[in-house]
Amino acid sequence: MPSLPKPRLRRTARARGPVAGFQPEPDAPKVEIVEHDGLRWINIERPRQSDRAWMEEHFDFHPLDYEDVFSRNQRPKVDEYPDYLFVVLHFAAFDKNVGRLNAAEVDIFIGPDYVITLPNEPLAPLEYLFERSRSRDDFREQLFSKGAGYLLYKIVDDCVDASFPMLRKIGNKLEQLEEDIFEGRSKEVVRDISNAKQEIINFRKIVRPQRSALADLERTKRYIPEGLDIYFDDINDASERIWDMLENFKEVSEGLESTNESVLSHQVNDILRVLTAISVVVLPLTLVASIFGMNTRVPGEQSLVGFYAVIGVMVVLLVGMILAFRKRGWL
């Protein structure tokens, strides 16, 4: 990778971020900046072309990195340059519009005295951390005093930890589905099981490629002092726990689906058993009625005694077959 010039950290009026009560123009860059002790955290949510122009004016990043920022479906990765790091990470975010989990991409530039975050979708943990850094001096001092590497760790760690509440909800949903199955609501939970499996699949699609990127980030030494190695190792442990939970949920959901299909199959078998027993019980009665209903002369024809005799035989057959079926457990 060619050596690039060091970033031009210009102190312009725009670089100080939006002023309270000021409404930016529609095409104006929406750049938020928090600074302390020479370290700056620049957050640009849903970057647009105007934001790219602002970054190109203040920093000399590789053109391919800008393409990655504005492209869709970019895979998680860690690119190391002589003067900065470029990190692409994906985190699970619930989209209320479609009611499903989607991957929210966060592009991060890390330099010696700056961290730039560019989420393509609002991320609650990232927004919360940035707002605390902006509003609380003590928290900002504690967070920024340890350098850009520690700030990067806190950003990634908070976004990774935000997955655990989502996983707990999925686990609770699977437990509720199990209760519903054994409480006789198998037909109603078919769609719920399908939705739960889809959530788990989407979550796995987000976490799987992320694991290698987090491992690369742990091995990166630029802007990450040796004392921070254990912190990034903790992030990897959390990521592996998330993956293990998703593997467990995958097996549980498949087991629930199989169990629900078995319950439905048993219900169908019970219905078929009853219908078959009824058909077998009615068959000899139909045979007797058919014989005595033929258009030929039969014993006892036009006799009231013969009629009652036929009815008696049919009743005896009916009671006998029902008792025999119940004794064998067929009814």
pLDDT tens track of the chain, all 331 residues? 334 444 443 333 333 444 444 444 557 778 899 998 889 999 999 998 888 999 998 898 998 999 999 887 788 999 988 889 999 999 988 877 767 788 889 999 999 889 999 998 888 999 999 999 999 989 999 989 888 889 999 999 999 999 999 999 999 999 998 888 888 777 778 888 888 898 899 899 999 988 888 888 888 877 777 677 788 889 999 999 999 999 999 999 988 888 888 888 877 777 777 777 777 777 777 777 777 776 666 676 666 777 777 778 778 877 887 787 777 776 6
Q: What is the pLDDT of residue 191?
A: 87
Beta strand 77-80 with 85-95 is antiparallel
* Domain carrying residue 301: 273-328
Q: What is the pLDDT of residue 118?
A: 93
Q: What is the pLDDT of residue 239?
A: 92
Q: What is the pLDDT of residue 167?
A: 92
Q: Give the rounded distance of the alpha carbon of 204 from its chain centre.
A: 7
286 within some domain: yes
Report how many helices (DSSP H) and strands (DSSP E) the chain contains, helices first. 9, 6
Q: Long-range contacts made by residues 252-259, C-beta under 8 angstroms, separation at least 24?
A: 252/174, 253/174, 253/193, 253/196, 253/197, 253/200, 254/197, 256/174, 256/177, 256/178, 256/181, 256/193, 257/193, 257/197, 259/178, 259/181
Q: What is the pLDDT of residue 296?
A: 64
Calpha distance 54→52 (Å, rounded): 5
146 and 277 assigned to the same domain: no
Do residues 239 and 216 lie in contact, with contact meaning Cβ atoms separated by under 8 Å? no
Calpha distance 82→79 (Å, rounded): 10
112 within some domain: yes
6 and 132 assigned to the same domain: yes
Calpha distance 79→203 (Å, rounded): 24
Q: Which candidate, 324, 311, 329, 312, places its Cα nearest to that of 281?
A: 324
184 within some domain: no
* Number of domains observed in the structure of the chain: 2
Q: Long-range contacts made by residues 68-71, C-beta under 8 angstroms, separation at least 24?
A: 68/107, 69/107, 69/118
Calpha distance 206→91 (Å, rounded): 7
145 and 11 assigned to the same domain: yes
Q: What is the pLDDT of residue 316?
A: 82
267 within some domain: no
Whole-prediction pTM: 0.74
The pair phi, psi for residue 121, each rounded to 5°, is -140, 150
Do residues 153 and 49 lie in contact, with contact meaning Cβ atoms separated by under 8 Å? no
> Domain containing 65 — which CATH number?
3.30.460.20
1 and 149 assigned to the same domain: yes
279 and 150 assigned to the same domain: no
Calpha distance 239→237 (Å, rounded): 5
Q: How many CB atoms lie within 10 A of CB 158?
A: 16
**Pick from 91, 126, 161: which residue ends a domain?**
161
Q: How many CB atoms lie within 10 A of CB 326?
A: 11
148 and 291 assigned to the same domain: no
117 within some domain: yes
Q: What is the pLDDT of residue 88?
A: 93
Side chain identity at residue 147, one-letter code: G
**Pick from 161, 182, 216: which residue ends a domain?**
161
Helices 148-161 and 137-144 cross at an angle (nearest 10°) of 110
Q: What is the pLDDT of residue 180?
A: 86
256 within some domain: no
Q: What is the pLDDT of residue 190?
A: 86
Calpha distance 237→230 (Å, rounded): 10
166 within some domain: no
230 within some domain: no
139 and 278 assigned to the same domain: no
Q: Which candidate, 272, 238, 228, 60, places its Cα nearest to that of 161?
A: 238
**Pick from 161, 191, 207: which residue ends a domain?**
161
